[in-house]
Amino acid sequence: MKTHYLTFMFFVAMAFSSLGQTGIPVPEMTACDTQMQNFMATHNIPSMTIAMAKEGELKYMRAFGNADIAGTETTQPYHMFRIASVSKPITAIGIMKMVEDGLITLNDQVFGTGGLLENHWYFSNSTITDTRVYDITVQHLLEHSAGWDRSSNCFPDPTSPYPWFFQGCDPIAAPLHITQSQGEQNPVKEEFLINYLLEKTLDFEPNTDYNYSNMGFLVLSEIIEEVSGQSYEAWMQQEIFHPLGIYDMYIGNNLIDEKYEREGEYVGNGFTTLDLYGSGNTVPWEYGGFSIAAMDGHGGWIATARDLVRLLVAVDRFPTKPDILSNATIDNMTTPSANASFYAKGWSVNGANNWWHTGAVDGTASIFVRTNNEYTWAIILNKRVVDGTANQFWIDLDGLGWNCIAATSNFPAHDLMDAPTVAASNLTHAGDGTSTMDVSWTNGNGTARIVVAKDITNNTDAYNFSAYPLDGDEYTANAAFGSGDDLGDGSFVVYEGTGESVTITGLDPTKLYALRVYEYTKNSNNGNNALYLLGNAPEREATLSINDETLSAAITLYPTITSEVVNVEVMIPTEMNYTLFDINGRALLKNTLKYGQNTINVGSLQSGLYLVTFSTEEKRITRRIVVK
C-alpha cells in the first residue's frame, strides 16, 4: 500500500508540469490566460477550466494543465470535474422549478404526517425523538435554517470503526461510522446519512438561526425524488438540463476507475482514511474516502464549466437569454433569508445583487458567479489548497473572474454558446457481410455533423472513445475507413456534412466497430467556430452482419441508471444469453433470458459503470448500465 501511494504522489508531481492552454483562443482576452496560468503556478494547481459570459453570450472558454494524475492528458474545455457545493444552487434551481410548477410549496413540511417525505421508503421508519423535526419546511432547508449545526460534536470518540475522533457533525465525513451505527451495508447511501441526523436532537429551533448544512440539501434531493418518482439526477437532467442543451452534468462516482467519459482526475493533499467500502485499506479521501455518489444535491455533481454557465445564464434574470424560471421565482430564490443577510435559497448573495457559490472537497475547488452587471462565470479546479496559504488561495480564486473582466478592454463579438443543443438520433446501420456498411441517422439541430468510426475489436477500455472533436477545429472526412482524419484514438472521420447517411467502405467482416455522430454549429454569431455537442452523441457498436439491426431492435433495457434491478424485454423468440462485465472486463453475472420480460438483479453490485452483452449463437450486442 505504501509503495502504491508513493507512486500516486509521483504522478501527482508530474501533473504540475504543464500549464498550456486549450480551447478557442480569444486574442482580446490573452491577459486572462496569463492570470489563470499565474494562479495555477502560484497555488500548484494541476488542472483548471473556465467559462465566462457577458450579457448572456459566452465569450471565453479555456482549459489549462493536465486532466489526469499522470500528467499525460491535456485538459480541454470538454472535461468534466467534480463541482462540490456548487451543486447547492443547482438543487435550489430544481426545487424552485417544482415550486413554480405547483408541485410543492416553500412552506410544505418535510417530515411526519402530511409531510412531503411522510411515505419515504427509508425515513418513514425513522425513530424521531425531537418533535421539532416535524416543523422543518422546504424553505428552512434551502436557507440552512432547519436546525442542524455541523460544528456541534455528535460523533463518539473514537468514531468507530475509525480509530480517531471526527469533530463536528457532518455525516458525510464518517461514512463507515454511519453504516455501522445504523446496521447498514457499505458503501453509505444518502438516506443513511440523513437518517443519522434525523434520529438525533436538533441543535436549534427551525427558522431561528443560520448554519450551513450539507444534509439539508441532501433532504432537498430526496424531496425531488419523492415528488417526481424519479432519481434526483434523472429528474434534474430531464426537467432542467436537457431542455437547455446541457448534457455534461452527472452525479459523480467514488473511484478513479469509475469516472465518466471525459471526466478528469483529482489530486488530493496526501490525506488518507479508511476505504468507505469497508475493506480496511487506507485510501486517499478523494478516491474512496468519502462517497461522492451519496452527496447528490449538496455536492455530487460533475460538470463542464461551459454547461455551468449555460445553466447560470438561464436563471440570471437578465433579458439577454430566456430564463427557465419567472422573475418572481428568481427573486424569491435570491432574496437574503431572515437569518442570514449573506445567504438566500442555495446562493451566497450580497447587497450589490451579486450571486455566487463556491465548492470544495478533497481534489476539487470551484466557483460559480453571477454579477449585477451581466457577467457570469464558472471555474473548476482538480485540487484545493488546505495548507497555510488556503485563505489566500480562496481570495485569489474569487478574484480571477473579476480580474479577467478588468483586464479586458474589448470583449469579442462571438457567442460560444451558439452550439447544438439537440444531438442526432436514430443511428442505425446495415452491413453487406463483406466490406461495406450503410449508416443513417436523424439530424439534430447543428448546422452540420461529423460521423466517426473506430475499430474496437480488442478494446478493453471502459468507453469506446477517448478522443473527441475539438471546438474550433474542422475535419476532413473520407468514407473509406482509415482514410479520413483520425481524432487521436483511431476514431476516423467517415462523414462530414448536412446529410443523414453515409456508406462506409473498407471494413473487415471479422471486426467490431463503434460509430458516433457529433453535431456541430458554425456561423457568424459564434465567430465561425465549429462548436461540437459531445454529450448525448448517439453511438452504436456494429459489425458487417446484415442481421445486427434485428438483434439490437429486439432488446429493450431499462432503467440504465439503477440501484436494484434492470428490466430486459426480449422481443424475438430465440435463445438469448447475457453476461454482465465490470469495466475491467470481469464477468460478474450471466444467465439465459426468456422471450418477453426479464429482470437482472444488480443490487449486490458496487456503484459504477457496467457492460451487459446480449448474445445469440451468432450475434451479440453490448449495452451500458450505471449502478448507483
Residue that the C-alpha cell 482514511 belongs to: 273
Would you say residue 14 has pLDDT above 50?
A: no
- E-strand spans in 66-182? 81-82
What's at 542, amino acid-wise? A
pLDDT (0 to 100) of residue 12: 38
Q: Indicate the pTM of the whole model.
A: 0.86
% of residues, the chain, pLDDT over 90: 83
Bond before 158 cis per omega within 30 degrees: yes
Would you say residue 485 has pLDDT above 60?
A: yes
Q: DSSP secondary-structure letter at 288? A: I
* pLDDT (average), residues 38-58: 98
Model confidence at 313, in pLDDT bands (50, 70, 90)? very high
Would you say residue 109 has pLDDT above 90?
A: yes
**Residues forming beta bridges with residue 601, ordered by sequence position:** 565
Would you say residue 139 has pLDDT above 60?
A: yes
- Is there a common fold for 1-414 and 554-627? no
Model confidence at 622, in pLDDT bands (50, 70, 90)? confident
Model confidence at 297, in pLDDT bands (50, 70, 90)? very high
Asked if 532 and 444 touch (Cβ cutoff 8 Å), the reply is no
Minimal CA–CA distance to 420: which of 444, 450, 443, 452? 444
Model confidence at 330, in pLDDT bands (50, 70, 90)? very high
Spatial distance between the Cα atoms of 375 and 404, rounded to a whole number of angstroms: 11
Considering the chain, what is the average pLDDT of its residues?
A: 93
Minimal CA–CA distance to 333: which of 303, 305, 312, 359? 312
Would you say residue 5 has pLDDT above 60?
A: no
Would you say residue 432 has pLDDT above 90?
A: no
pLDDT (0 to 100) of residue 19: 55
Mention every residue, 6+ apart, whose C-beta is less than 8 A from residue 12: 46, 69, 267
Spatial distance between the Cα atoms of 482 and 494, rounded to a whole number of angstroms: 8
Question: Residue-wise over 400-425: b if at least 16 C-beta within 10 A, else e?
Answer: bbebbbeebeebbebbbbbbbbebbe
Rounded to the nearest angstrom, the gap between the alpha carbon of residue 287 and the centroid of all alpha carbons in its chain is 16
The helix/strand/coil state of 131 is: helix
The helix/strand/coil state of 356 is: strand
- What are the CA-CA distances from residue 168 to residues 155, 171, 207, 359 (Å)? 7, 9, 21, 19
Would you say residue 160 has pLDDT above 90?
A: yes
Per residue in 405-431, pLDDT (tens digit) is: 999 999 999 999 999 999 999 999 888
Q: DSSP secondary-structure letter at 237? A: I
Q: DSSP secondary-structure letter at 259? A: P
Would you say residue 6 has pLDDT above 50?
A: no
The helix/strand/coil state of 517 is: strand
Model confidence at 550, in pLDDT bands (50, 70, 90)? low
Of the options 3.40.710.10, 3.30.70.260, 1.10.3470.10, 3.40.50.2000, the CATH number for the domain spanning 1-414: 3.40.710.10
Would you say residue 4 has pLDDT above 90?
A: no
The total of other beta-carbon atoms located within 10 Å of residue 292's CB is 27
The helix/strand/coil state of 54 is: strand
CATH T-level topology, domain 425-546: Immunoglobulin-like (2.60.40)
pLDDT (0 to 100) of residue 548: 58
Would you say residue 504 has pLDDT above 50?
A: yes
β-strand 437-442 against 501-504: which pairing, if any? antiparallel
Model confidence at 606, in pLDDT bands (50, 70, 90)? confident
Would you say residue 1 has pLDDT above 60?
A: no
pLDDT (0 to 100) of residue 549: 61
* pLDDT (average), residues 514-523: 98
Spatial distance between the Cα atoms of 606 and 294, rounded to a whole number of angstroms: 13
Mention every residue, 6+ apart, whose C-beta is less than 8 A from residue 595: 570, 571, 572, 573, 574
Per residue in 224-276, pLDDT (tens digit) is: 999 999 999 999 999 999 999 999 999 999 999 999 999 999 999 999 999 99
Model confidence at 560, in pLDDT bands (50, 70, 90)? confident
Superfamily, domain 554-627 = Macroglobulin (MG2) domain (2.60.40.1930)
Spatial distance between the Cα atoms of 610 and 544, rounded to a whole number of angstroms: 25
Asked if 436 and 504 touch (Cβ cutoff 8 Å), the reply is yes
Model confidence at 67, in pLDDT bands (50, 70, 90)? very high
Spatial distance between the Cα atoms of 421 and 446, rounded to a whole number of angstroms: 8
Query: Which of 116-125, 159-168, 339-348, 593-602 bottoms out in mean pLDDT, i.e. has the lowest?
Result: 593-602
Would you say residue 547 has pLDDT above 60?
A: no
% of residues, the chain, pLDDT over 70: 95
Would you say residue 469 has pLDDT above 70?
A: yes
Would you say residue 574 has pLDDT above 90?
A: no
At CA 237, angle to CA 234 and CA 239, rounded to 5?
Answer: 100
Mention every residue, 6+ apart, whose C-beta is less than 8 A from residue 188: 175, 176, 178, 179, 276, 291, 294
pLDDT (0 to 100) of residue 384: 97
Question: Residue-wise over 594-612: b if at least 16 C-beta within 10 A, else e?
Answer: eeeebebebeebbbbbbeb
pLDDT (0 to 100) of residue 118: 97
Model confidence at 583, in pLDDT bands (50, 70, 90)? confident
Asked if 339 and 124 touch (Cβ cutoff 8 Å), the reply is no
Would you say residue 2 has pLDDT above 70?
A: no
Domain ranges, ordered by start, for the chain? 1-414, 425-546, 554-627
- E-strand spans in 13-98? 21-22, 47-54, 57-65, 81-82
Would you say residue 288 has pLDDT above 70?
A: yes
pLDDT (0 to 100) of residue 573: 66
pLDDT (0 to 100) of residue 46: 98
Q: What is the 3-state secondary structure (H, E, C) of 387-404?
A: CCCHHHHHHHHHHHHHHH
**557: its cell numbers:** 433495457
* pLDDT (average), residues 432-449: 94
* pLDDT (average), residues 4-29: 60
Would you say residue 115 has pLDDT above 70?
A: yes
Asked if 496 and 449 touch (Cβ cutoff 8 Å), the reply is yes
